[in-house]
Chains A and B, each alone.
Chain A
Amino acid sequence: MITLKDLKTGEKARVQEIVGGIGLRRRLESLNIRVGKEIRKVSSLPFHGPVIIEVDRCEIAIGQGMAAKVLVEVLR
C-alpha cells in the first residue's frame, strides 16, 4: 500500500484506508473518496502543490497533506 501522494500520475488505484480524523473522512467521503473506490491520479502539482484525482468521471483537487492520509492499492 502507498499513499495517494506517492501514486504516479495516470495510475489507477483502489482506496484502502483513510488515516485521519472523522472530519477528514466525512469530507472525503461526501465527495465519494472512500474505502473501496477506484480512483485515478490525474495530476500532481510540484512543490507540495495539490493532487488531482478522478473518481467516477469527476475530478477533485485535494491538498498534499490530505493525499498523504489516503492509502491506496495500485491497480494494474
Chain B
Amino acid sequence: MKILLMGNPNVGKSVVFSRLTGANVIASNYPGTTVEYTRGTLKLKGKKIEVIDVPGTYSLTPFSKAEEVARDMFLKENPDLILNVLDSTNLERNLYLTLQILEKKVPTIIILNMWDLARRKGVHLNVKKLEESLGVPVIPVNAVGGEGIIQVIQSIEKILEKKEEHTPSIEKMDDEEKWKFIGKLLLDIQKIEHRHPTLLERLEDASAHPIFGILIALLVAYLTLKSLIGAGEFLIENILDPFFYNYYGPLITRIIESTFPSGPIHDILIGTGYDYMESFGLLTTGVYVPFAVVLPYVSLFYLLLGFLEDLGYLPRLAVLTDNIMHKLGLHGASIISLILGLGCNVPGTFATRILEDERERFIALTLLSISVPCMAQTAVIIGLLGPYGIKYIAMVYGTLLTTYITVGYILNKIMKGESPEIFLEIPPYHIPHLGTLLKKTWTRIRGFLLKAIPFFFLGVLVINLLYVMGIMKILTGLLAPIFSSILGLPREAAATLIIGFLRKDIATGLLAPLHLSPEQLVVATTILAIYFPCVATFVVLAKEIGVKGMIKIGILMVTLAFLVGGIQHLILTNT
C-alpha cells in the first residue's frame, strides 16, 4: 500500500507527513523546502503503509526539477491513495491541482490545512458542500497543532479497505473548464469577510518595500550575525572551555597516560601538548573541536535559520536581492541555496533544485561550492582569527564575497543564455511555533552529529597516521614550492588541503599548531574554503551536476584557490 502526499508548495505537506509517520522532516515557511521525496511508514492496525512526502507543485506541468520530481512520482509510483493537502486560505489556486489529480481517478482525500489561519483571515468554508461537489472526503486540519490528523487516519483506513469504491467521479476538463468549475464551486462554498490588515501584514508589506525592505534586511543580517557570534563566544568561554580545560582534558590525559605513558598510541589518542586546539589527539582535539568549537555555532546557526525560515523571511530576501543576483546569472530565489549553504553545503546544493534552468543551476552550484564556507568551517575560522580581531575575519569573508560576485559576473558573461526571471510565491509571515522550531533545530543538529562527527574522527586519525608513517612529509613536500612562493605559507600548511577533502573544519583546525601570523591565517583559511568541497558535498554535487560539470567546477576551484590566495598574499604583504 502506498500513499502520496501532494499539493502546492508551502501548504504544510511535510508537517502532515511528520504527523502521520512520526518521521522528522524539515518543514519551513517558504515554497521549495522539500525538493526531494521522503519515504516514511504509517502503521495502521499492524499493517505498514508507505507514505511519500512529495515536493510541492502548482500543476502537473513541471517548471523546475523539484516539480518534475512531483509529477514523476504521481505518474510512476502507482499510489493507492493521494492525500491532497490544500491551503485553506487560498482554495481557488489549490483546487486547480486537485482537479488535475482527481481526473486521474486515483482515490483521494482532501486535507484543508491551515484551517485556523483561514478563520483568522476571515475565510469561511462549507466543508460538507465541498465534499459533495468533489465526491471525495474533505477534512479540515491544523497540522502544526495536530488537530484533524486522527480524522485523516480514520479516513485513510476506511478508503484503503474498499479502494475500488472510492474512485473519484470528476471528469476530465480543459484548463478553462477547470477554472470555471472552481469559480462556481467557490461561490457556493466560500465566504470571505473583509479584515483590516494586522500588524504582521503591515510588516509583510514593509519587508518587501524597496527602501524599508533593504533597511529591514540589513537589520536582520546585523542581528543574526551579532547574536550568532555573541552567543557562540559566550557559550564557549563560559561553559565549554571551562569544562574541557578543567575537567575533561585533565581526566582523559590522566587515564591515557596511566596506560600509555608515551609512544605512538599515546600520541594518536591524546596528541602532544596541552592546548586542545593544537594537540591533534583523537580524544583531545578530536573531541574538543567538534563539540566545543563547532557545535555551539552550528546549533545557534540552525536555531536562527529555523526562526527566519518559519517566519517566512527568506522569500522576501529573495525578492530584495533579485536585482543583484541577475548580474551574476541567477535570480533572487538562489539566495535560499546560499543561506542554507552557509550552514552546510549539502542542503545548499539540494536547494538549487527550485531553480528553473540548467545554466542557472550550474552557476548557483559553482558559486556555492567555491565561495560559501559552511558553519563548521566558519566556527573554526572564528576560533582561529577571533583573537586577532574582527578585521581578519572580515578579510576572509570579504574575499569570499568578492569571489562569489566576480565569478558569477564572469560566468554570466561567458555562458550562453540569460538568467530566467524570478517567479516565487511569498508566504505570509507566521510567528514561529517554539516547540516546532526547537524540534527542527534538534533534527538538524542530530543530523550534524551523526554525519559529521564520524568523518571528524576519521580525519584526525588519518592525519595522525599520515604523520606517523611519514607520508604527510612527502605530500607536503610536493606542494611546498607553491605554498612558500605564491602563498607565503610554510609547507606544513599544505596538509590542510589534503585533510580538507574529509572535513573542512578539522583541516582549518590543522592550522592552529603552526602558529601562523594573522595574515597567513587569512590566506590559508581562504584557499581552504575555495579549493575543493568536502567529500559529503562532493558526492551530492557530482550527482546533481554530472561528471563533466564536476570536472569543470573542480578545475575552476583549484585554479581560483591559488589565484585568490596569491592575490591576498600580495596585498597583505605589501600593505
Please list the residues of chain A having a beta carbon within 8 angstroms of any beta carbon in chain B.
Answer: 26-27, 29-32, 34, 42-50, 52, 55-66
Contact = CB atoms under 8 A, between A and B. Distances in A.
Lowest 6 CB-CB distances: which A-B pairs, in order? A63-B421, A30-B58, A32-B93, A59-B426, A30-B59, A49-B323
A41 B331 CA distance: 20
B323 A47 contact: yes
Contacts of A64: 421
A65 B331 CA distance: 13
Nearest to B94: A32
Interface in B83-114: 89-90, 92-93, 96-97
B93 A56 contact: yes
A57 B89 contact: yes
Given A30-B58, A30-B61, A43-B319, 15 more contacts: A29-B179, A32-B90, A32-B96, A44-B210, A46-B323, A49-B210, A49-B322, A59-B208, A59-B425, A59-B428, A60-B424, A60-B425, A61-B318, A61-B319, A61-B422
Contacts of B315: 61
B424 A45 contact: no
23 contacts: A29-B96, A29-B179, A30-B58, A30-B93, A31-B58, A32-B90, A43-B210, A45-B210, A45-B213, A45-B322, A45-B323, A46-B323, A50-B422, A56-B90, A57-B428, A59-B204, A59-B426, A59-B427, A61-B319, A61-B422, A61-B424, A62-B422, A66-B421
B323 A66 contact: no
Contacts of B426: 52, 59-61
Contacts of B331: 63
Contacts of B427: 59
A62 to B, nearest CB: 6
Nearest to B318: A61
A63 B179 CA distance: 25
A62 B423 contact: yes
Contact of B421 (A42, A56, A62): A62
A42 B201 CA distance: 12
Q: B93, B326, B331, B420: which has the most chain A beta carbons within 10 Å?
A: B93
A33 to B, nearest CB: 9
A50 B332 contact: yes
B422 A63 contact: yes
A51 to B, nearest CB: 9
A49 to B, nearest CB: 5
A50 B92 contact: no
B423 A66 contact: yes
Contacts of B19: none
Nearest to B100: A30
A50 B319 contact: yes
Chain B CB count within 10 A is highest, among A46, A59, A61, for A61
Given A30-B61, A31-B58, A43 B208 contact: yes
B359 to A, nearest CB: 16
B175 interface: yes
Contacts of B319: 43, 45, 49-50, 52, 61
B205 A43 contact: yes
A30 B421 CA distance: 16
A65 B421 contact: yes
A46 B423 contact: no
Contact of A42 (B123, B205, B322): B205
A27 B421 contact: no
B121 interface: yes
Nearest to A60: B425
Interface string B325-366: 010000110000000000000000000000000000000000
A43 B201 CA distance: 14
A52 B208 contact: yes
Given A30-B59, A42-B205, A63-B421, A50 B322 contact: yes
Contact of A63 (B59, B92, B93, B423): B423
Contacts of B61: 26, 30
Contacts of A60: 423-426
A43 B426 CA distance: 12
Residue of B97, B123, B210 most packed against chain A (CB within 10 A): B210
B96 A58 contact: no
Nearest to B59: A30
A49 B421 CA distance: 10
A27 B318 CA distance: 19
B65 interface: no
A37 to B, nearest CB: 9
A52 B124 CA distance: 26
B243 interface: no
Interface in B197-249: 204-205, 208-210, 213
A70 B494 CA distance: 57
A61 B123 CA distance: 23
